[in-house]
Amino acid sequence: MRQIIIHIATAALLCGCSAYRNFESPEVETDNLYRDVSSLCAGGDTISLGDLSWREMFRDPKLQQLISQGIASNVDLQSAQLRVEQAAATLMSARLAFVPSFTLSPEGALSRYDGSTTKTYGIPLAASWEVDIFGSLHNAKQRSKAVLAQSKAYRQAVQTQLVATIADGYYTLLMLDRQLAISRRTAENWKESVETMRSLKEAGIANEAAVAQSEASYRSVRASIPDLEYRIRETENALCSVLGQTPQKIDRGTWRTLELPGVIATGIPLRLLSARPDIKQAEMALASAYYTTNEARAAFYPRITINGTGSWTNNAGAVIANPGKLLLSAVGSLVQPIFNRGLNRAKLRVAKAQQQEALLEFQQSLLNAGEEVSNACYRYTQSERKLAERREQLVALHGSVAATQELMRNGDATYLEVLTAQQSLLAAQLSESEDEFEQVAALVSLYRALGGGREIEAQPQNNE
pLDDT for 332 beyond 70: no
Residues 456 and 156: their CA atoms lie apart, in Å, by 12
Domains of the chain are 19-100+132-303+357-449 (1.20.1600.10)
Q: How high is the pLDDT of residue 98?
A: 77
pLDDT at position 252 is: 92
Q: By the 8 A CB rule, do 425 and 387 touch?
A: no
Q: Per-residue pLDDT for 458 more than 80?
A: no
> How far apart are alpha carbons 285 and 280 in whole angstroms?
9
The answer to whether residue 325 scores a pLDDT higher than 60 is no
Spell out the residues 6+ positions from residue 415 whose beta carbon is closer than 8 angstroms to its own: 197, 206, 210, 213, 214, 408
Tell me the whole-structure pTM to 2 decimals.
0.79
Beta-strand pair 107-113/101-104: unpaired
Contact 135, 328 (CB under 8 A): no
Residue 386 has pLDDT above 70, yes or no: yes
pLDDT at 242: 94
Give the per-residue pLDDT at 329. 43
* Average pLDDT of the segment spanning 201-215: 79
Split at pLDDT 50, 70, 90, the class of 66 is: very high
Instruction: Say yes or no to pLDDT of 203 above 80.
Output: no
Torsion angle of C-alpha atoms 411, 416, 421, 425, degrees rounded to 10 = 130
Inform me whether the pLDDT recorded for 174 exceeds 90.
yes
Candidates 85, 454, 144; CA nearest to 278 is 454
Weakest mean pLDDT among 1-15, 303-317, 354-368, 443-457: 1-15
Quick: pLDDT tens for 259-317: 776 656 656 566 666 678 888 999 999 999 999 998 888 887 777 777 666 666 666 54
Closest CA to 4 of 300, 299, 334, 308: 334
Check residue 315 and report its DSSP letter: T
What is the pLDDT confidence band of residue 461, given thresholds at 50, 70 and 90? very low
Q: What pLDDT is attached to residue 151?
A: 92
Question: Rg (Cα) of the chain, in Å, rounded?
Answer: 36
- Sorted by sequence, the CB contacts under 8 Å of residue 326 that are 6+ apart come out as 306, 307, 308
Measured CA to CA, the distance from residue 243 to residue 66 in angstroms comes to 7
pLDDT at 364 over 60: yes
Torsional class of 28: left (φ above 0), alpha (ψ -120 to 50), beta (otherwise)? beta
State the average pLDDT over residues 435-461. Answer: 76
